[in-house]
Amino acid sequence: MRRDRESGEERSRGTQRPVIMGATPFHRSILEVQLPKHFDKPTDMRYDGTQDPQEHLTTFEARMNLEGVGDEVRCRAFPVTLAGPTVRWFNSLPQGSVAGFSDISRAFLAQFTTRIAKAKHPINLLGVTQKTHETTRKYLDRFNNECLEIEGLTDSVANLCLTNGLLNEDFRKHLTTKSAWTMQEI
């Protein structure tokens, strides 16, 4: 009876005792931390093992930073973002082995390392050429999307590759009137 009364009091105050389930990879210290009252669980993020795990971690961390939550809450929220085989992977981690988010991050990246996207080299841009019936605007959009995947790309290299792939002679001539355009100017 006393336990029922305590549960009712906790519910009326808006706090809940954490429910500690059976086997879990979380250390007890993580399980004992209460989730903030208005915490927005990241249920709209899903990682199924086919995408870049680094990108998923970066997006997850940004979301948790926005929520302003600590390490323990990050640990508790991360499994909500997993789907399919990644849930089974997470549940197979040794009981009590996750004492902090760095433990999850390390194990996650190690498990899905083959899915980490390889950075493209600027030389790849030479293969991005305007198609015969493609508008210049569509080509520029496609070219810009490719540029986003290349780390350390300079404006001069991007300009050279863009000019090389253009079919629109008037626009090509316009681009050669200045030694180097920035992608923003183009």
Q: pLDDT per residue over 37-86, tens digit each? A: 999 999 899 999 999 999 999 999 999 999 999 999 999 999 999 999 99
pTM: 0.61
% pLDDT > 90, the chain:
54
d(CA 111, CA 184): 39
Domain boundaries, the chain: 21-115, 122-175
Q: What span, in angstroms and rounded, lies between the C-alpha atoms of 85 and 79? A: 12
